[in-house]
Amino acid sequence: MTLLSAGAINSDRKADSDTADNPKAKVAAIVARAHAAMEAYENTDQERVDDAVRALAWSIYKPENAKMLAELAVEDTGLGNVESKIIKNTRKTFGTLRDLIRAKTVGVISEEPERGLVKYGKPVGVVAAVCPSTNPAATPVNKAMMAVKGGNAVIIAPSPAGAITTAKTVDMMRAELKKAGHPEDLVQLMPTPVSKEMTQELMNQVNLAVVTGSQNNVKRAMQSGTVAIGVGAGNVPVIIDSTADLDDAAVKICASKIFDNSTSCSSENAIVILDDVYEDAIAALERAGGWRCSAEECQSVGDTLWVNGKLNRAVIAKDADVFAKVMKLPEDAQSSKFFMVEQQSVGGKHSFADEKLSLVLTVYRAKDFAEAKKIVHDILDVTGKGHSAGIHTKNLEHARELAAETDVVRILVNQAHTFGNGGSFDNCLPFTLSMGGGTWAGNTISENLNYRHFINITHLVTTIPKDQPSEEELFGPYWSKYGK
């Protein structure tokens, strides 16, 4: 496959000579084109808006495009694998399209005559969509679909590591918009060079910044003065309790852990197994494809996984055989699918308790369910508070306890996290590639990013029969306890 050269990115959208070396002016020019596109966009007509959303979805869902962009992403970034990225490009897009087509976002979006209320959906403006290297094709399309659904224009800011793939993705989205008769500049690529400075300037000038990936980018967006939506870091811990179907849990954990070589923020990073089923659960995980590292192998993995306080790019998001060779694991380990490192206690940053973005699954043993919950909390205190956790169980009271006591937005029950956290056809979560973590993660949203975050709402309010209770109704319970 021939890759686009870095100099070719956005080559058909060259800046004027007077803005060539001026980041502020370069961004201003592209933002102006975005506003002009919104003026030309039929964004008060829900049918036309939905037509544009379908065009964006088809640009990546089309089989040959999904495959080409998956291959390009792996070649461009060195992360993940082609098969998983094809699934990500198609499944996430299809699910998001399902959600979006069912929603009203422009014009009258709801009427409640009994409340005297009519709601009108309106655009938020020009959106900056900052995207990660782990999903250089799927995330730009996902965010563009949501933004355009709200009647907005969007400017995609790629990661430097995935810029070539993202540029190709944007070109494909623009081509489909043009084919369907919509303004191409509804979707644009951030001006080059791809850098923190250019991304910051873009975030400064738009109406809304939506940031996925680097927590540094998330923090800078929040400090930009622009309305911003950021998402938190993942580091998902999952409990296997005494009632779990062990083989079912193991198969789901394996499928989720190995998907795209663990690039997903929703991938299981640790499991906590109750003592009375510990060895049986480990055996089930081995049957599913896990390699149980010895104490010496755990040491080797730990020494290699982090280099100078940073994850080692030679092993993150790499295939299992490559990982095993770099880690100097036995030859038999190279045919395994993922690698289990057993730990006696929860460490801190850059320990096995931290996010690993690799096929390493940390395993903890808990004497009972109370200790299992504590281990989960301790892991999330290291990294991932606000994001997600899960449990495999037949005892829904355990699931309710975990949800009531754990500071995360999502608790998944008997599910493969990577396939459930960002929306699934068999759960109620909206399809997305960006998961908010609430104030626990320093985020403004505590749900999956979805179309509602890309619209403003005007409330038309008319009078209804008066609803004014008596003082006795409101203060009575207090008076009866404490007097007036």
Would residue 293 show up in a list of annotated catalytic residues for this protein?
Answer: no
Give me 1's structure tokens.
């496959």
Strands 306-307 and 126-130: unpaired
d(CA 310, CA 306): 5
Longest dimension (CA), the chain: 81
Of these residues, 254, 265, 293, 298, which one is catalytic?
A: 265
User: Quick check: 171 and 126 in contact, CB under 8 A?
Assistant: no
Q: Which residues contact 479 (CB under 8 A, 6 or more apart)?
A: none
Q: What Cα–Cα distance (Å) separates residue 285 from each residue in 137, 201, 279?
A: 32, 47, 10
**Partner residues linked to 108 by β-bridges:** 120
Which is nearest to 181 in space by CA: 65, 52, 60?
Answer: 52
d(CA 209, CA 436): 14
d(CA 288, CA 340): 12
* Cis peptide bond prior to 193, omega within 30° of 0: yes
For the chain, state the CA radius of gyration: 24
Q: Active-site positions?
A: 265
